[in-house]
Amino acid sequence: MSLEVDLPWHLQSVPNVAGASSLLSATGRSDLIILGLVNNMPDSALAGTEAQFTEVLRAASGGRHIKLRFSSLPQLKRGSAAKERMAASYWSLDSLLASSLDGVIVTGMEPGMGHLSSESYWPDFISLLQFAQSHLISSVWSCLAAHAAVLALDGVERRRLSEKQSGVFTFGVSSNDPLVAGLDRSIRTPHSRWNEIDGCALQQAGYTLLSHSPEHGVDAFVKRESGLMLFFQGHPEYQNLTLLKEYRRDVGRFLRGENMEYPKAPAHYFESQTLRLVDEFQQRVLQGPVAPPVEEFPFASLADGIDDSWRYSAARVYGNWLNHVAEIKAERAV
């Protein structure tokens, strides 16, 4: 198994640029899958998101060779450090879509407006969505990108939750779809979101629910029109400490006065013996005469013992997705 982060040709070494034509001719092989990761996460999560999807795709790759190309929606505001990072390894969106792609994974983006269709990136997002439908074998839409896609495709609106849904939740696998082949009847998936899409609305619009629960709603769903489109409300790609990092970030936002309510700890995530550390730090913040700085947040102690129990099911679903991409690619090559 292998996964290679594929740089734009103008950033590759001279020997690789000289071999560009051989790369193009190789894209017909069904054991070579070329994917784009359109990483729209904020600057602080840019590198982490790259690592998460690289890791889960490597675990899911089987015997295939995967080339992964990074890109991002151009309208998103970036700081100087993120721009420098992207200049060293990212394809422009135009060059990515003009290259030989089999599939694309699109991540969420931090909202800045009251409605997704009012965001500055919306026209580029629509163009990307239409391109994926008409030119690619398949696409994956993660978290907020899933919300934006179903809004654009079928007018399915998301709704605001009363509190953030953060934690590792159990979902029933409710379909015989090949994408969930080999999974147990229930799986655990990390979620971190303020909004949700109603499962009944999705089904009425022609989507198939792959995993959901009465308490926590829809986890994964799929639609097969103009190519297979796979959607995740959650984050099966998350690494074991990702939710902990987000929780520390939210605590920091409270300490700086950016949020008015102290964040709830991610549910079903910490071991019972470490939950007291969460409570103790919260009490120091809320009841002490002077709030401790975020640097005193007990990150290392909380990290000890956190496992990634969802990683098997994540690799399995992405492996099934890669199987689909490879099968369709092989059929088209005949």
- Backbone angles phi and psi of 7, in degrees to 5: -80, 155
Q: Verify whether residue 200 is a known catalytic residue.
A: no
Give which of 116, 100, 289, 284 is closest to 197, Cα–Cα: 116
- How many CB atoms lie under 10 A from the CB of residue 88? 9
Q: Which residues pair with 35 in a beta bridge?
A: 68, 103
Q: Which of 50, 119, 237, 246 is catalytic?
A: 237
Residue 324 catalytic? no
- Alpha-helix runs per DSSP H in 155-287: 199-204, 242-255, 275-287
d(CA 248, CA 256): 12
Retrieve residue 12's tokens.
Answer: 């590759």
Active site annotation includes 237:
yes
Catalytic residue among 50, 216, 235, 246: 235
User: Reduced to 3 states, what is the DSSP secondary structure of residue 25?
Assistant: helix
Q: Choosing from 119, 143, 147, 191, which is the catalytic residue?
A: 143
Point out which residues pair with 159 in neighbouring strands: 196
**HSE of 150, CA atoms in CB hemisphere, 13 A:** 32
Measured in whole angstroms, how far is the alpha carbon of residue 275 from the centre of its chain? Answer: 27
The runs of H, that is alpha helices, within the chain are 14-18, 20-26, 46-60, 80-89, 93-98, 122-135, 144-154, 199-204, 242-255, 275-287, 299-303, 311-333
C-alpha separations of 299 from 243, 251, 296 in Å: 11, 11, 8
Report CA-CA distances (Å) from 89 to 5, 11, 59: 9, 7, 22
Judged by DSSP in three states, 203 sits in: helix
- Helix, strand and coil percent figures for the chain, each rounded to 5: 45, 20, 35
Catalytically annotated residues = 143, 235, 237
